[in-house]
Amino acid sequence: MKNVDTEFIRNIAITGHGGDGKTSITEAALFLSGVNTRLGKVDDGSSLMDFEPEEVKRGGSILASIANFPWDKHLIYWIDTPGYANFIGDTKACMRVVDGSVVVVSANDGVKVQTNTVWDYADEYEIPRVVFINRMDSERANFETTLEDLESNFKDIRMVPLYYPIGKEANFKGIIDLMAQKAYIFADDASGKFETQDIPGDLADTVASFRERMIETLVEADDEIMEKYLEGNELTNEELLACLKKGTCERQFVPVVCGSAAKNIGVAQLIDLAVAALPSPIDRGPVKGKKPGTDEEITRDPSPDAPFSAFVFKTITDPFAGRLTIFRVYSGTVHADSTLYNATKDVKERIGQIFRLVGKKQEGVGSASVGELIAVAKLKETTTGDTFCDEKDPIIYEPAKLPNPMITFALKPKSRGDEDKVASALQRMMEEDLTIQLGRDEQTRELLITGMGQLHIETTLEKLKRKFGVEVDLSLPKVPYKETIKKTVKGVIYRHKKQTGGHGQFAEVHFDISPLPRGKGFEFENALTGMNVPRGFVPAVEKGIMEAMASGVVAGYPVVDVKVRFYDGKSHEVDSSEMAFKIAASMCFKKGVQEANPVLLEPIMQMEIITPEENLGDIMGDINSRRGKVLGMDSKGKYQIVKALVPMSEVLQYAPDLRSMTGGRGNFTMEFSHYEEVPAHLKDKIVAQKEAAEEE
């Protein structure tokens, strides 16, 4: 398709909970628009959008896919986003660059956890929405119940049904257009073809009621049209459409369509609505950014004539094809075979071809302008979150704030010597997926991978093997316990004396050892008076203490939150040395800790758990069984949000447990909070486990 004017461009993210049919709707749209000659299906692996082997294997999206297709003189850029919590970070990154969102809700399940999540993302980015109630042909599908569920969950904005279903469950066969007052009866072959008929008599009263409700809501968007309506004058469809566009773009209400992606019912009407009601880049107005190196806010007009600017929102990596960089053009025009200025990294990048995407398919274009979502290959420096712009008039756009990864595993290469190869390959994977984090625990020395969930990490490692030929073993990470003391001991004395012929070793140190408040680490006080110890040996004393702190006396874990006051000692003019004082300090510290009531500390995690109301009792009981402490609760629609503090050792495998308790509808976030003393009855068990691990 040739370039089109900006006012005829729509860029839309289709969002919702996993399994509600987003990809099936997208495939139907590609079929109806002529981009695909057949109706691709997720279940049989013929989907254009879910093309990664890991997606085909699991029958669902794990990464956002981008398509473009023509529709009634418009060019639509359409992002099919993942809906499961494990992959929701990619969804948020993509919603950062769209102007509208289609939220998909299943007619037999209603609003679920990730429906709420993507709704919040749309609020954060001030994105207008339309809702598609899918699966009207499924068992227990109910239009009115789903509509009520939407209204109860999202009370701050009104729902405006524009269509009403004909038939229920397996007998669902069409929809009624409340604005045109016509019935559309669809062919039973998933072709999307339909016949226009009069409204069935048995639905006339219901439809009249819904139409009145629709008009009363729509006219509130325009005072002049509302006044005309209140005066009893008949409104034209053009006037109603003007209200629809204005109210949707200003987020006064959310239009609702119903249908079935599997039967290809209502998808064409959904796209018509997206074109009519969701904004163009021009409708969205100027875009805000910052002047590089400052907090000064500047804007760019969504005009092809404005200075060029674009934001990189996604990267796809492949060891053979190289890196594919995908960005949204916010202003100006970009041409193939040109040089772009990356303001984020202050570098220039030479680009070759420019591509429009349909899943993994690429279509070369000569140029792209405002509102377009395009890709370029093999850039050297640019990564997700970077801004391209005119070097003479620079701007930087703010990256999306992605959700925190919440589950961690230890990694170990299956082949010895592959650790560098694993780390390098994972760095490449992290360019594609910013919610994957790689690190090394300084205490345990384990290589750690952190992600949004176990499935997220497993699929990442499957891709690691497929793309880079690297295999790893996963295990639960070791809990980074620490040790500390509970009481002060004074006058701890240790003398190190050794005679082996020639120069001997001699050093004596006197310490006061006391506990510090939690989180304060280590404090060393040089309180020497007189000349019993030459001041040149003080650094060796401090170093000896710090080395001793690396392995405590309870179970060999690092010692923290301790103050050592070095106030006296003795030395020998010949046999004293830095090494002697270092050894004496180490032994004196361990001796003092033994006398100071040493205890184990465990990391405590702050958790926020989102659960359906009916599972709240199970969640609360489970938190208590994990030695957790509930801090408070909030409600959001039919979901409850539980805030709690729980020991890390009790939630290493919380993700599958929560999934089991809530039937996959629960979600949680987790981050480190602080350290607390391990209960006495668990201390011996932890010590025994540590000793057993060291013997292996």
The CATH number covering residue 298 comes to 2.40.30.10
Residue 92 CA to residue 101 CA, distance in Å, equals 12
Q: Residue 497's domain spans which residues?
A: 483-596
- Residue 74: the pLDDT is 96
State yes or no: pLDDT of 670 exceeds 90: no
Mean pLDDT of 667-690: 88
The answer to whether position 401 is within a domain reads no
The answer to whether position 397 is within a domain reads no
The answer to whether position 607 is within a domain reads yes
Residue 254 CA to residue 297 CA, distance in Å, equals 31
Residue 190 is part of a domain; what is its CATH number? 3.40.50.300
Q: Using alpha carbons, list the distances in angstroms from residue 215 to 129, 196, 220, 266.
A: 19, 22, 9, 21
pLDDT tens-place string over residues 261-315 = 999 999 999 999 999 999 999 999 999 999 999 999 999 999 999 999 999 999 9
Pairing status of strand 387-389 against strand 338-342: antiparallel
Same domain, 492 and 635: no
State yes or no: pLDDT of 57 exceeds 90: no
- Residue 696: the pLDDT is 60
Residue 241 makes CB contacts below 8 A (sequence gap 6+) with: 179, 276
Same domain, 20 and 132: yes
Residue after which a domain boundary falls, among 548, 573, 596: 596
| Proportion of the chain above pLDDT 70, given as a percent | 98
- Residue 24: the pLDDT is 93
Burial of residue 435 (CB within 10 Å: 0-12, 13-18, 19+) is buried
Same domain, 617 and 533: no
- Residue 638: the pLDDT is 74
CA atoms within 13 A on the CB side of 261: 25
Pairing status of strand 361-365 against strand 354-358: antiparallel
Name the residue type at position 210: F
Residue 98 CA to residue 128 CA, distance in Å, equals 10
Q: Report residue 271 CA to chain centroid gap.
A: 27
Q: Where are the alpha helices (DSSP H) in 550-615?
A: 578-595
CA atoms within 13 A on the CB side of 504: 10
Greatest mean pLDDT among 90-99, 527-536, 608-617, 653-662: 90-99
Residue 78 CA to residue 69 CA, distance in Å, equals 8
Of 557, 554, 555, 566, nearest to 593 by C-alpha is 554
Residue 513 is part of a domain; what is its CATH number? 3.30.230.10
Tokens of 652: 């290493």
Domain count, the chain: 5
The answer to whether position 234 is within a domain reads yes
Same domain, 308 and 361: yes
Beta-strand ranges (E) seen in 359-488 are 361-365, 367-368, 373-377, 387-389, 407-413, 437-440, 447-451, 472-475, 482-485
Mean pLDDT of 359-374: 93
Q: How many CB atoms lie within 10 A of CB 522?
A: 16
Task: Decide: 609 and 642 in contact? Cβ < 8 Å.
Answer: yes
Same domain, 613 and 572: no
Residue after which a domain boundary falls, among 284, 303, 324: 284
State yes or no: pLDDT of 249 exceeds 60: yes
The answer to whether position 396 is within a domain reads no
User: Which of helix, strand or coil describes residue 423?
Assistant: helix
State yes or no: pLDDT of 417 exceeds 60: yes
Same domain, 670 and 560: no
Output DSSP code: residue 345. T
Q: pLDDT confidence of 238, banded at 50, 70, 90?
A: very high
State yes or no: pLDDT of 1 exceeds 60: no
State yes or no: pLDDT of 559 exceeds 80: yes
Based on C-alpha coordinates, what's the Rg of the chain?
32
State yes or no: pLDDT of 257 exceeds 90: yes
The answer to whether position 402 is within a domain reads no
The answer to whether position 450 is within a domain reads yes
Residue 625 is part of a domain; what is its CATH number? 3.30.70.240
Residue after which a domain boundary falls, among 427, 453, 475: 475
Q: pLDDT confidence of 82, banded at 50, 70, 90?
A: very high
Same domain, 164 and 204: yes
- Residue 404: the pLDDT is 78
State yes or no: pLDDT of 604 exceeds 80: yes
Burial track 24-47 (b if 16+ CB lie within 10 A, e otherwise): bbbbbbbbbbebbeebbbbeeeeb
Same domain, 331 and 429: no
- Residue 320: the pLDDT is 66
Residue 176 makes CB contacts below 8 A (sequence gap 6+) with: 163, 164, 165, 166, 182, 183, 184, 199, 203, 207
Residue 680 CA to residue 678 CA, distance in Å, equals 6
Q: Using alpha carbons, list the distances in angstroms from residue 180 to 83, 235, 238, 241, 346.
A: 33, 12, 11, 11, 54
Same domain, 511 and 562: yes
Q: How many CB atoms lie within 10 A of CB 535?
A: 9
Pairing status of strand 437-440 against strand 472-475: unpaired
Residue 104 makes CB contacts below 8 A (sequence gap 6+) with: 14, 15, 16, 20, 21, 22, 25, 131, 132, 134
CA atoms within 13 A on the CB side of 562: 32
Residue 85 CA to residue 454 CA, distance in Å, equals 11
The answer to whether position 296 is within a domain reads yes
The distance in angstroms from the start CA to the end CA of the chain is: 65
* Count of residues in the chain: 696
Residue 165 CA to residue 506 CA, distance in Å, equals 92
Same domain, 87 and 162: yes
Same domain, 177 and 114: yes
- Residue 13: the pLDDT is 98
Same domain, 299 and 264: no
Task: Decide: 481 and 602 in contact? Cβ < 8 Å.
Answer: yes
Residue 536 CA to residue 534 CA, distance in Å, equals 5
State yes or no: pLDDT of 58 exceeds 80: no
**Average pLDDT taken over every residue of the chain:** 92
- Residue 501: the pLDDT is 64
